[in-house]
């Protein structure tokens, strides 16, 4: 669990043990965007279904975020654009393009797909 929270840009706060060493409460501060995107599924799979989570919004903080634009045939598609942390932008763009490539039907001509982060 600690590795999952660290990978999601979490800040460790404290650990509490309940009833010996069988139950543990981990307290982390995580960005809401990281909790929304696939965190609960990974929590359940890593704890074999036993893990639970509780959260509360503690406030807003500035982050190093970028907008990842998806270009289909050199035209920007706003519905596919996402705002992510700069460290995860390239991986999220590649993952989105792989999924998009699988969903678009085969044609007799090429359809170029690109992920653009700023001008890159």
In a domain, 37, yes or no: yes
Whole-angstrom distance, CA of residue 112 vs CA of residue 117? 16
- The count of domains in the chain is 2
Which of 62, 120, 64, 113 has its CA nearest to residue 90? 120
Same domain, 113 and 77: yes
Q: Which residues make Cβ contacts (< 8 Å) with residue 39, sequence separation at least 6?
A: 4, 8, 30, 53
Which residue(s) pair with 67 in the sheet?
A: 83
Token pair in block for residue 38? 């696939």
**Which domain CATH number covers 12?**
3.30.70.240
Whole-angstrom distance, CA of residue 82 vs CA of residue 93? 9
pLDDT digits (tens, 9 = 90+) for 11-22: 899 988 888 778
Q: What is the model's pTM?
A: 0.67
In a domain, 53, yes or no: no
**Banded model confidence at residue 69, pLDDT cuts 50, 70, 90:** very high
pLDDT digits (tens, 9 = 90+) for 22-47: 888 889 988 888 888 788 888 898 88
Domain that holds residue 16: 2-46
């Amino acid at each position: 669990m600690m590795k999952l929270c660290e990978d999601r840009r979490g800040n460790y706060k404290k650990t509490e043990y309940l009833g010996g060493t069988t139950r543990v409460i981990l307290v982390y501060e995580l960005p809401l965007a990281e909790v929304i995107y696939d965190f609960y599924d990974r929590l359940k799979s890593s704890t074999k279904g036993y893990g639970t989570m509780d959260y509360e919004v503690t406030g807003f903080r500035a982050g190093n975020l970028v907008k990842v634009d998806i270009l289909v045939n050199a035209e920007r598609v706003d519905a596919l654009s996402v705002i992510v942390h700069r460290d995860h932008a390239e991986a999220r763009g590649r993952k989105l393009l792989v999924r998009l490539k699988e969903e678009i039907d085969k044609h007799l001509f090429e359809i170029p797909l690109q992920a653009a982060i700023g001008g890159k």
